[in-house]
Amino acid sequence: MNAPLKTCVLVSGNGSNLQALIDARRSGGLNFEINHVISNVAKARGLARAERSGIPTSVLDHRAFTSRDDFDRALALLICTGKPDLVVLAGFMRIIGPEVLEPLRGRMINLHPSLLPLYRGVDTYRRAIEAGDEKHGASMHFVTEELDGGPVISQVVIPIQPGDEADSLAARLSPMEHRLVVATVEFFSRHRVECMDGSVFVDGSKQEQPLQLQDNDRLT
């Protein structure tokens, strides 16, 4: 077996997806490690979750920097100190600028609560309901210059039910996001997943569609 995938997780708030990764790792059999958790918010619950599990944490408060570029440069340095194989944005609510992207291109992935390319940005649940969509979901995609616009690696789909409101839909999607994030990181630990020419390649083969989360928590 290869060396465990060294993963750095970035959070801004609750960190329930980070917790899902911690729990999955603890339950064993998965070939990844969480080596570093970084937050731009000192009070983020995600930091406490990491600390409780003995994972090194860092806080980089964006408000302490005079420019976005300065913050981005410091963030890139902080991430790269741990030499991660993969950087997971799990509820990290900052736009990733070129200073961060450049050294980490192809190694940084983001969890987004929509079936991308639908509904980039915020308020995805409400927008999907108001559009009359029959389904919603979450995506993991490579981070690129374009906000929520990088190639989509994996998705999970759930139905929108009659009477759903943004909160009920979000509550139903959340546990599925947890499963998606774990399955995707696990997938990276077993496969060569690359971002090239605006597409996702798995072990050298171009993916025509995002991988889908199956009932057995595998991606196919």
**Residues with catalytic annotation?**
112
Q: Furthest-apart CA pair in the chain: how many Å?
A: 48
Nearer to ligand GAR, 72 or 177 (CB): 177
Cβ atoms of 89 and 108 within 8 Å: the answer is yes
Question: Please, is 201 exposed, middle or buried when counting C-beta atoms within 10 Å of its C-beta (0-12, 13-18, 19+)?
Answer: middle
**Interface with ligand GAR by CB under 6 A: which range of 65-73, 75-83, 94-102, 109-117?**
109-117
Question: To the nearest whole angstrom, how small is the minimum distance from the Cβ of residue 16 to ligand GAR?
Answer: 3
Query: How far, in Å, CA of 106 to CA of 192, rounded?
Result: 11
- 91 touches ligand GAR (CB under 6 A): yes
Q: How many other CB atoms sit within 10 Å of the CB of residue 29?
A: 7
Burial of 101 (0-12, 13-18, 19+ CB in 10 A): middle
Q: Which stretch binds ligand GAR (CB under 6 A): 50-58, 96-104, 110-118, 192-200?
A: 110-118
Nearer to ligand GAR, 111 or 213 (CB): 111
Which residue in 39, 50, 182, 44 sits closest to 109, CA to CA? 182
Minimum CB–partner distance for residue 185 and ligand GAR (Å): 13
- State in Å, rounded, how far the first CA of the chain is from the last one: 21
The contacts of residue 121 (CB under 8 Å, 6+ apart) are: 147, 148
Determine the residue type at 189: S
Give the phi and the psi of residue 103 in degrees, each rounded to 5.
-70, -15
137 binds ligand GAR (CB under 6 A): no
Considering only 5, 10, 16, 188, the residue that binds ligand GAR (CB under 6 A) is 16
Look at strands 205-206 and 199-202 and give their pairing.
Answer: antiparallel
Of 64-72, 107-115, 150-158, 202-210, the window that binds ligand GAR (rule: CB under 6 A) is 107-115
Among 4, 6, 14, 129, binds ligand GAR (CB under 6 A): 14
Q: Which stretch binds ligand GAR (CB under 6 A): 15-23, 49-57, 72-80, 208-216?
A: 15-23
13 scored as a contact of ligand GAR (CB under 6 A): yes
**Is residue 15 part of the contact set for ligand GAR (CB under 6 A)?**
yes
Instruction: State the residue for tokens 């599925």.
Output: 176
Please give the residues from 32 up to 61 whose contact with ligand GAR meets the rule CB under 6 A.
Answer: 46
Show the binding pattern over residues 111-130: x = contacts ligand GAR (CB under 6 A), - = does not. Answer: xxx-----------------
- Positions that interact with ligand GAR (CB under 6 A): 11, 13-17, 46, 90-91, 111-113, 138, 177
